[in-house]
Structure 1
Amino acid sequence: MGQLRLLKDRSGLSLVSLQAKTPFSGSSWERYLNGKVLPPEAAVEAIARIAGEDAAPLLELRDAAERTWNTASDADSTAGSDPARGAPEAEVPRIRGVALSVAAGALLLSAVVSVLLVMDARHPRAGGRQGAAARVGKYTCTYTRRDDLVFAGNSTTMSHRVMLNSTGPDAAEVQCLLLRHKLPPGDIDGYFGSHTEARVKRLQRQDHVPADGVVGEQTWALLRHVE
């Protein structure tokens, strides 16, 4: 569990940030990540989305954990392996339930650790500043000018559509460019959340374009415009 917490801290995913970016509470994530409760499919899909990973392998592990739970619940405990052996009869269902919960949750924990390792490898932390680069959140905003356009070092696209719940370098590029327009979106974490969307709408209103909060060709042009 200590290693999982260390990986979570290094990836920047706190329980508070998970609560803010998903429909699940911080206390629910605490139970999921510590193997106390088998997480619902929606929670697995949410953490995969935030990490920018394919949810399918995680869902397969979750299904395997659920099958383990169900199989163990239906099977008779063998001598020496029953966690409730020797316990008062009234306590047996509760003790077996706790043991099965921990066993099922352990499978998903290994998947979460893998996701956090991938995230940490993708966005290693830097030890200082270089030139115009400043590490903010998980991404670096490195502003350069080319052909009367501004680039922040994460993406060079002028057309990819980025919108609410988008993740990755394109979203980080939007956040860095918003920061340059004095419309700080919060953490530059590559997650296009409601705060980033609100800043995009404000930029769109300022320049009298449809304020839909979606970054397409027209809004990219606004973001990359050299003031």
Structure 2
Amino acid sequence: MPRWKELPAEISSSERQLLVQLRRLKDHSDLSLAALAGRTSYSRSSWERYLNGKKPVPRKAVEELARVCGTEPTRLLVLYDVAERSRPRAAAAGRTDDAPSASPKSARPLEPAREAEPEPEQERETSSAAAPGPEPEPKPEPEPIPEQRQPESRRPGRTVPLGWLVAVVVLAVAVSFGAGLLTARAWDDDAPAKKKTGSVAAGTGYLRGQTYECAVQRKDGRLRAGHSDTREMLLDINSTGFDVVEAQCLLREKGFDPGVFDGLYDERTKGAAKKFQQAHHLVVDGIIGPDTWRELRR
């Protein structure tokens, strides 16, 4: 079975859960990406982008993958709807895959400005120069006629003073920089407390590469390590977050030590999960789901 690439850290947990299930379905079908492209309406490169989290997977692709693998798509479509609601509106608006963009309409050329009509004084000078007769008396040079301004209606567009534009850009950069400093300081101040108490809610403030403490205790009849209260989240290879820290702590409490408590579902964590599932007569696939969570919290 090929090893999948790690999913991008910026995608939501619901999107990650959907992709984990699609990967698992594809692996169990023993179909390669090329074979999958031959049986669906999506290319091999499209499936590679979808399953590695590079591009949101369309709803139709989820249905076709379930059909090709002989699985009822209802559960996958529920996961898809949850992931769809967690995506930004801008990403949901650009849902179509590889769709050709409509060619922009050609801009209408500006109407050429009309030539200024000659001044009456100039016409009189021209006609007098052409008519035969005695040489006219020299006249004083006329004052220069001021240049006519182009009417407002014929200007190509409204311009903004350069000084105002520079001031707005500088202000926006300063505000963004200040907000970034405040956010970074808040994370730095909060990080030690998370490591000591281990009571941060799942999905907030998780830092990769940090080891968290396990303070497992029984509350309301269930074991809890203080990192997550989930009992349904699906965890598999490359899953990250406080849900994984919670599972690692509970595995050690049950006597199946994964060796590390950093929130990364790696091969060691999956091996500990398989041993726990085998000891409790569960499906031994290394994927922590509702059945495994139920046994871990007993």
Return the TM-score normalized by structure 1: 0.43
Larger RCO, structures 1/2 (Cα 8 Å, 6+ apart): 1
Larger-Rg structure? 2
More helix by proportion, 1 or 2? 1
Return the TM-score normalized by structure 2: 0.34
